[in-house]
């Protein structure tokens, strides 16, 4: 995002691309889920979640078969839950703040408060 803004891409244009971004995110998440499910099929029984090993493949897929899916020391659950989601939330908030500034001349107090409090939450 920093590189894009530094070369002149308007951050305020991001809200107009939310539908394509949501589609790309959904597709990526589905493919990633399939890969993690396939990885869990070859995982040892000790690595499986107690509830995710029911024998019903549809149930196991949605519940999560492997308890803590890792590749070496890289924890997929921690990465997917925290990094892209929360950082993306901050970028979308900033993009909405920039769009409001472009449309109204300056962001409203409510927009500043939403951005500030949600940034505090993500930072915490």
Helix ranges (DSSP H) in the chain: 2-6, 18-41, 57-63, 76-104, 109-123
CA–CA distance, 119 with 98 (Å, rounded to integer): 15
Summarised one tens digit per residue, pLDDT across range 60-73 is 888 888 888 888 88
Burial state string for 62-76 with b = 16 or more CB within 10 A and e = fewer than 16: eebbbbebeeeeeeb
CA atoms within a 13 Å half-sphere pointing along the CA-CB vector of 85: 10
Closest by CA to 46, choosing from 70, 71, 67, 77, is: 67
Q: How far apart are CA 69 and CA 38, in angstroms?
A: 11
Question: Taking the domains of the chain in order of start, what are their residue ranges?
Answer: 11-123
Interatomic CA distance for residues 108 and 122, integer angstroms = 21
44-56 pLDDT tens trace:
888 888 877 788 8
pLDDT in tens, 83-106: 778 888 898 898 899 889 989 999
């Amino acid at each position: 995002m920093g590189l894009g803004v530094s070369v002149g891409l308007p951050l305020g244009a991001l809200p107009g691309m939310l539908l394509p971004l949501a589609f790309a995110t959904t597709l990526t998440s589905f493919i990633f889920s399939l890969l993690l499910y396939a990885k869990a099929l070859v995982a040892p029984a000790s690595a499986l979640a107690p509830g995710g090993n029911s024998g019903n493949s549809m149930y196991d897929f949605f519940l999560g078969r492997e308890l803590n899916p890792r590749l070496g020391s890289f924890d997929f659950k921690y990465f997917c839950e925290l990094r892209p989601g929360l950082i993306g939330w901050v970028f979308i908030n900033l993009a909405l703040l920039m769009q409001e500034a472009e449309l109204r001349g300056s962001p409203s107090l409510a927009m500043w408060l939403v951005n500030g409090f949600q940034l505090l939450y993500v930072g915490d």
